[in-house]
Amino acid sequence: MGICQGCHAGCCRSFAIPLTGADIITLERETGKTFWDFGCRWEDPEGSIAADYAPHFYFQDEPQTPFVICLKHEQSRIFKKSTCCSFLKETPPDKDHPLGQSQCGIYHARPSACRVFPTKFDVDNELPIIHPVPEYGREDHQPEFKLCPRQWTPADVDPINGTSDLIIARYEARFFKQIAKLWNRKVGPWSVFPDFVRNVYQNRVQPISEESFADEEPYVLKMSAYDAQKRRCA
């Protein structure tokens, strides 16, 4: 976990964590919970949660309100006047850790937004870059909202997994935006939203007909031919 080791998890306390449909399906599979156990909708009239990453969804009960689908927050056991991600495992403060040490309870199944923090793709050449992290995650500069103990460096980001996570996050975010467009064309009730998402992802992989493949040599044969040519030249 590198820089996150021993942290009190100020990011998990400061931010509403947007979910993609892929995040929802993954969390249901890995935790055995349903969407209603961990998911919620956050009002986002100013777009501060969605930013350039998450789409807005609208629902029949509040058709004028833009919502972002996020992880639930619950009352913090350590900082009584604040909330934190419902999956955060909190530990009490001690002499060496005055804000405690908290850990992600779903680290290996955590949402893409968590995986890529605080990196993004550079616009010009699409290399991963590290976005500066502010000292606090909220304007209310309470200790629990203090973020990383230092600025991130390239050594804190795996050059392979970090890039892969960014690629997946970008793809899934774009796909979820298409789902939002589909949903918002005919706004439905909040109660059926999880079923709608599951249905979309259950049908995401589509077969291809033999007719549409008739004029093209199958990719596996092309690769076999390439391998044979390569062996002849060796």
Side by side, the strands of the sheet bearing 39-43 are 39-43, 62-71, 57-59
pLDDT greater than 80 at residue 228: no
pLDDT of 230 reads 46
CB atoms within 10 A of CB 153: 10
How many Å apart are CA 176 and CA 224, to the nearest integer?
36
Tokens of 206: 């589509």
- pTM strictly above 0.85: yes
Band the pLDDT of 17: cuts 50, 70, 90.
very high
Band the pLDDT of 2: cuts 50, 70, 90.
confident
Model pLDDT for residues 62-101, shown as the tens digit of each residue: 999 999 999 999 999 999 999 999 999 999 999 989 999 9
pLDDT of 214 reads 58
pLDDT greater than 80 at residue 234: no
Please state the φ and ψ torsions of residue 84, each to the nearest 5 degrees. -155, 170
Higher-scoring residue by pLDDT: 209, 31:
31
Task: For residues 153-172, give the mean pLDDT.
Answer: 95
**Amino acid letter, 124:** D
Instruction: Please check whether residue 9 is in contact with residue 102, taking contact to mean a CB–CB distance below 8 angstroms.
Output: yes
Tokens of 170: 């970008």
**Amino acid letter, 138:** R
Alpha helices in the chain, H assignment, sequence order: 10-14, 21-31, 35-38, 112-116, 161-185, 193-202, 219-233
The angle that helices 21-31 and 193-202 make with each other, rounded to 10 degrees, is 90
**Amino acid letter, 156:** D
Tokens of 4: 């996150």
pLDDT of 125 reads 74
